């Protein structure tokens, strides 16, 4: 889990891209192993941290499900 206090969706996308690029050589090296990574995003100043994490977790599973169809 990566928490980015004060980050907006554009910041999330930039960090997500950097993480994907960082792990791409490893994934390319081990093509025989089905590696995956999921990302979830949630942002709120009104919700407790536990609720924000739950929302991001749901988004993560949605992201992984979309990735499986690619």
Residue-wise DSSP of 23-59: HHHHHHHTTTS-----------SSS-HHHHHHHHHHH
Task: Give the tokens for residue 3.
Answer: 């928490």
pTM across the whole model: 0.70
Q: Is 16 exposed, middle or buried (0-12, 13-18, 19+ CB in 10 A)?
A: middle
Please report which confidence band the pLDDT of residue 27 belongs to, taking 50, 70 and 90 as the band edges: confident
Structure tokens at 60: 């993560």
Contact of 38 with 67, CB cutoff 8 Å? yes
Residue 10: pLDDT over 90 = yes
Q: What is the mean pLDDT of the chain?
A: 85
């Amino acid at each position: 889990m990566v928490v980015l206090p004060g980050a907006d969706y554009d910041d999330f996308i930039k960090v997500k891209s950097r993480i994907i690029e960082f792990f791409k050589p490893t994934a390319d090296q081990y093509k025989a192993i089905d590696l995956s990574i999921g990302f979830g995003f949630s942002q709120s100043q009104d919700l407790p941290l536990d609720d924000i994490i739950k929302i991001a977790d749901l988004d993560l599973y949605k992201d992984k499900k979309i990735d499986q169809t690619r």
